[in-house]
Amino acid sequence: MDFLPPQEPLLEKAVLGAILVDKKGLSLVKPILLPEDFYDDNHKKVYKSILELDSESKPIDMLSVISQLKKTSRMNAVDSGFLITEMCTKQTSAVNIEHHARVVAEKSMLRKQIQLSQDIIKLCYEPNADPFALISLNKSKLSNIERYDDEDYTPATRMKETWDSIQRASQNDGMAGIPTGIQKLDRFLGGITEGDYYVFSARSGSFKSALMLWIQHSVDIMGHPTLMFQQEMTKTQTGLREIAMKSGLSTQDLKRGRIGDYEKVHKAIASVERSKVFIDTSTNQTIAKIKAKAQRYIEEYGIKFIVIDYLNLCDLEVKKFGSEEQAIAYHSKEMKSMAKELNIAVLELVQFNKEAAKEPLKPPSMAMIKGSGAIEFSADVVCFFWNPAKYDENFVYEDGTQARGKIAIIVAKNKNGETGLFWHGVKAESNQFFELENNYSANKHIEPNNTFEKEEPAPF
């Protein structure tokens, strides 16, 4: 059975007629309609001609539009004259033009959805069709079809959102984004900001995965659900770290069933169960899978922050790009695009290259990251974790800091703020972290706002 595509040709004529008889008509319609939104081909041609005249600051009336149609060989003088005259005689003003234009736009949206559905059906029959890629493609194209009111782009709306951000920072001790639970890091970054792409990197044994888990639970406590793509550890391994982190008990003791305090364990389990820290332990994640799952969790739980642990375990589809460097460049660019498109913060762990292992007592630098050039370009923030005490327990940093029981966090790139280094306490056996006294150094001066308690893990 054949169906006619959704359309409103009479309203299309009414819109065009109103533009021709009322000078203010075009200004009301331009934010709503594009030429392809008209179903009738002749109506498309008329609207294109009107837009061309407007771009050249020429008058828009019956004669000028007929002349433009003839000049561009879209229609001859007789046909265009008949059509334009019919449009104008049935309209006397631009009353209701916005409503009519929106109906025309909505019919266009329906036609586009029908076409998209047909395209997706064809792709589903392909022998090597990737269901996650198709889900992501479908959602992306559907969001492109969705219309937004032009007021979203006005200076007033832009200034309101900016002022709200300033006020939020003013009321939260400089915190414009989501607090990480690491106070000194928040001083550098102002919290985790939606739309930004964060890259954290470290040598092996620098507590990077543990610290990501700590940050996720801190963010959750502040009322923000989070999602982690954990490709390095199993559900049980991740769960052991969460229980240790919440209870203060040793991860190794828990793993071996040596439970000294059942009450602490049960409280920790209950705390994790109440949280909205979602962890996907699937392996070989592709960009399409990550994006499709992120979209689902955003819709269902309002996720604003995701962590990927880690880039080098993702399926980068190296064969498709010819080299790992090109694949990493594409991946990092897509992660930044995803953060902006979905309005979420994306934090990704990235592996160091082999050269970094040769000088473990040397502070990490940008050159140590695999694919550093592309990642540095795409990322809004790049941070390193450094654990020199793993290689020399008596190591003392140049500022006099004894490294044992601590890790250094280095903010190497910060698009909107300071860069520098500070030390953070770590209780290795339970994967807990705690603040130290003010002993950080920024590349630019930063006034400390308050002091921190020493040698005590922050309670959850």
Residues 132 and 238 in one domain: no
The pLDDT score that the predictor gives to residue 128 is 85
- Site of tokens 């290795």: 428
Q: What is the pLDDT of residues 159-195, one digit of tens each?
A: 887 888 888 778 777 777 888 989 899 989 989 999 9
Residues 337 and 427 in one domain: yes
Q: Does residue 135 have a pLDDT over 80?
A: yes
The pLDDT score that the predictor gives to residue 108 is 93
Rounded to whole angstroms, the maximal C-alpha distance in the chain is 94
Q: What is the pLDDT of residues 38-67, one digit of tens each?
A: 999 999 999 999 999 988 888 899 999 999
Tokens in use for 56?
A: 């050249």
Residues 207 and 151 in one domain: no
Residues 191 and 135 in one domain: no
Residues 148 and 208 in one domain: no
For the chain, give the percent of residues with pLDDT over 90: 32
Q: By residue range, what is the domain housing residue 81? A: 1-171
Q: What is the pLDDT of residues 89-133, one digit of tens each?
A: 888 788 889 999 999 999 999 999 999 999 999 999 998 888 888
Residues 143 and 256 in one domain: no
pLDDT band of residue 325 (cuts 50, 70, 90) is: confident
pTM value is: 0.69
Residues 65 and 180 in one domain: no
Residues 71 and 218 in one domain: no
Helices and strands (H and E) in the chain: how many: 17, 10
Tell me whether residue 451 is in a domain.
Answer: no
pLDDT band of residue 305 (cuts 50, 70, 90) is: very high
The pLDDT score that the predictor gives to residue 109 is 92
Q: At what angle do helices 41-55 and 9-21 cross, to 10 degrees?
A: 20
Spatial distance between the Cα atoms of 75 and 168, rounded to a whole number of angstroms: 57
Q: Does residue 270 have a pLDDT over 70?
A: yes
Specify the number of domains making up the chain.
2
Q: Does residue 208 have a pLDDT over 90?
A: no
> Which strand (E) or helix (H) includes residue 383?
strand 381-386
Spatial distance between the Cα atoms of 279 and 120, rounded to a whole number of angstroms: 29
The pLDDT score that the predictor gives to residue 328 is 85
Spatial distance between the Cα atoms of 50 and 44, rounded to a whole number of angstroms: 10
Tell me whether residue 454 is in a domain.
Answer: no
**Half-sphere exposure in the Cβ direction for 164 (13 Å, CA):** 7
Q: Does residue 263 have a pLDDT over 80?
A: yes
Residues 146 and 249 in one domain: no
Q: Does residue 383 have a pLDDT over 50?
A: yes
Residues 107 and 236 in one domain: no
Residues 284 and 243 in one domain: yes
